[in-house]
Chain A
């Protein structure tokens, strides 16, 4: 046994133990390389940086697991507790999970990119196994019994003999700070799982159904002031003047003007808003810019030079082989908003020169850096807490409201809360970028022989098609991840659930169906004829069986469709049945079957919740969601102009897992989103013979496509 010092990352050791108290500590981090390799778990922690999480076993027997990840609703709190309970041999109920607190949790990056399950869960398991081994050694010493003869369950170690001597984990760690590390500790094989693979009640449930869950806009402190901040009417508009005299006369209102920001503070949030409405502001409007109709030409013209993402064979040879079997289309999708039910919220409070900011964010450490830089404070004086977040979907990666609250709190000398209203939320959202995706593809003898694909605006994640195509090229220009030329998008853009892939999959899978039509083959059969990707094939076959897919050539009039996709190694296939009203263009989604291969499923019900959520969110993005704008002015201001999927849309939904427990866990919160738009487009085509090339597929666009024939 070796006992190197325990690293505490950015937390100073003394501060850390001051907060965390006594107990057994195990620190760990994830190993990205290991996550890609089935069956292997991360190597043990070896450096001083990049701690991923840690666990503590307290003298009261409670186990605390801490990570900088955030509970957005995706169930991370529950999943981490399961992983730990499994390996540590304690009850699920004895585990507390503390998330998103930069004062207590190590910096393990933001909560995005479907990384928690593939990276953090294996690390938590490893740590649990190591802690268990340490405890068994302590128990062996205490009971004077060799480790091999000990048994453990529910945090109680039992020796041999009658009556058996026992000692609890709590007794083993009581009053001591134990720092030990072990090498070569193995985790349990899948066959031995008792907690992983089950669906225990969510850890966050009780607080959420009773209204006791505190979101960042629910923090209340004595003297708390609510801020209403003056916003420009359009992106690019510049403040010329602001007459705040009327606002200043509102009883209890405090007007703050600070380097371009005008804000009204009041102890009541609604009165702060009313007072802000009295500010007479003049703005210089930005120059004329694109609107939601002209945007596609605009981004094509302003995009950076295309970058090669992947290529094979020779396009000219593909053209020659496909002669007569060419299909060429341009697919468009507009900007979509994250539209989480909780708007960006933050509460900031200074105490002894240190600021704590409760900020709804997917990336507390990123927000900490932003606050440090905006307020010129060192890391030790800024703490971000993001315990519960009311939906993220990629939209709370940045959290400017945290900086706003911290700045205003410092100026006011009192705690300040910033809760964006819905109009601010739509205005400041970093939308999924609009995209223009052109595909020229060819088929010969039922095989895809050519694929020439230009992606503009969507980015390039998982952009290369997974079908067997001998002659292909994929290029990409601009996207959600930054690096776009100024003005290409009239506002900020960013990641939106399965970024790049949700746009690209719509285009690719629509086009695959068009090729199947050209080839005169059933769309499922056509896919399988052109696919040697074994996992994807299995997912398609599993979904088709569950759906009861019957081969036919589209348009068959039945309104059935299939589409599939891969996001960060998670494979999924969606099957849909729709009804289309030819006169109104309205699309009714009757049934969705979603088949998934996400490797080992840690929490099946949690995975189902994510997939069901993707079905509803995906239906909205496919059928109605589109941000309207003109010259930097965001015309979409509230939900009446941005219809989300509602209860009456609810189709019959079935989620099917392709059993694959031998494979490492893959992320599942985003992948089930990607095929939704294409599966509906394909089902609409099958119903009425009209190919929709633009998202969302609104009734007007369906009618227009029908008229075009």
Chain B
């Protein structure tokens, strides 16, 4: 059903007229022009489209836009908007990416992990990131980057 959808996007009040059954990914990318969130599989299998709704990481390619009515939505663009976040800095310093296409989804997923679990163990990181796919094989560096970001946050550097 087409309606005016209102939510907070990266901290900004946002209203957009859309069919609320359309998937959030396309509303973000096409209607709102935020292309940092990527399409990878369209079925919630790869994590490239991960965004945070409320406090939870969701796959925006299988999340109807209507589900974010009145909620906070955070995308990769929002995570970097006030200077690089600890997770982003750690991804940079560890070179925890190659082609970079899965990277926004990885960073958003990692950010969500640290929201709930500020000091994750390696096992918790692996478990949380398991369904984010990376074809270039940056997995080891991504785990290390998240570990480092957790430590940096602990020191108040968020």
Contacts and interface: CB of A to CB of B under 8 A. Distances in A.
Interface of A: 72-75, 201-202, 204-215, 217-218, 220, 226, 267-271, 339-343, 388-393, 419, 421-422, 605-606, 609, 612-617, 638-640, 644-650, 653
Contact of A208 (B37, B100, B135, B141): B100
B141 to A, nearest CB: 7
Given A73-B98, A341-B38, A639-B45, A612 B138 contact: yes
Given A73-B97, A268-B22, A612-B137, 6 more contacts: A202-B95, A209-B91, A209-B107, A211-B37, A616-B137, A647-B143
Contacts of B93: 201
State the 3 A-B residue pairs at the shortest beta-carbon distance, nearest first.
A211-B36, A390-B101, A73-B99
Nearest to B103: A208
Which range contains the number of B residues in contact with the other chain?
Answer: 35 or more
Contacts of A392: 99
B89 to A, nearest CB: 8
A674 to B, nearest CB: 15
A204 B129 CA distance: 23
A638 B45 contact: yes
10 contacts: A72-B99, A210-B36, A215-B101, A390-B101, A612-B141, A614-B137, A616-B139, A639-B133, A647-B130, A650-B126
Given A214-B35, A220-B33, A341-B40, A609 B95 contact: yes
B23 A341 contact: no
Contact of A640 (B31, B43, B92, B134): B43
Contacts of B125: 647
B70 interface: no
Contact of A341 (B22, B31, B91, B135): B135
B139 A342 contact: no
B97 to A, nearest CB: 5
A422 B126 CA distance: 25
Contact of A220 (B35, B43, B77): B35
Nearest to B35: A218
Contacts of B95: 201-202, 205, 605-606, 609
Given A268-B26, A341-B48, A419-B39, A391 B101 contact: yes
B41 interface: yes
Given A209-B80, A605-B95, A340 B100 contact: no
B100 A73 contact: yes
A121 B33 CA distance: 37
Contacts of B25: 270
A595 B108 CA distance: 34
Given A391-B135, A616-B137, A617-B135, A342 B99 contact: yes
B101 A210 contact: no
Given A211-B76, A341-B133, A204 B35 contact: no
Contacts of A271: 22
Given A205-B95, A270-B23, A422-B43, A653 B140 contact: yes
B7 to A, nearest CB: 18
Contacts of B38: 215, 341-342, 390
B88 interface: yes
Nearest to B78: A211
A419 B29 CA distance: 13
Contact of B126 (A207, A210, A648): A648
Contact of A75 (B46, B98, B101, B132): B98
B133 A268 contact: no
A200 to B, nearest CB: 10
Contact of B30 (A213, A267, A343, A391): A267
Given A217-B39, A269-B30, A422-B41, A389 B99 contact: yes
A143 B37 CA distance: 53
B115 interface: no
A340 B95 CA distance: 19
B75 interface: yes
A17 to B, nearest CB: 33
B66 interface: no
A598 B23 CA distance: 46
B42 interface: yes
Nearest to A619: B137
Contacts of B48: 341
B99 A205 contact: no
Given A638-B43, A647-B126, A209 B92 contact: yes
A215 B103 CA distance: 13
Contacts of B76: 210-211
B135 A393 contact: yes
A352 B48 CA distance: 36
Nearest to B46: A639
Contact of B31 (A268, A342, A343): A268
Most buried by A among B23, B26, B100, B126: B100
A243 B143 CA distance: 50
Given A201-B93, A421-B42, A211 B139 contact: no
Given A341-B102, A421-B42, A210 B138 contact: no
B130 A205 contact: no
A269 B26 contact: yes
B90 to A, nearest CB: 9
**In this complex, which of A73, A217, A340 has the most chain B Cβ atoms within 10 angstroms of its Cβ?**
A73
A235 B111 CA distance: 42
Contacts of A605: 95
Nearest to A345: B39
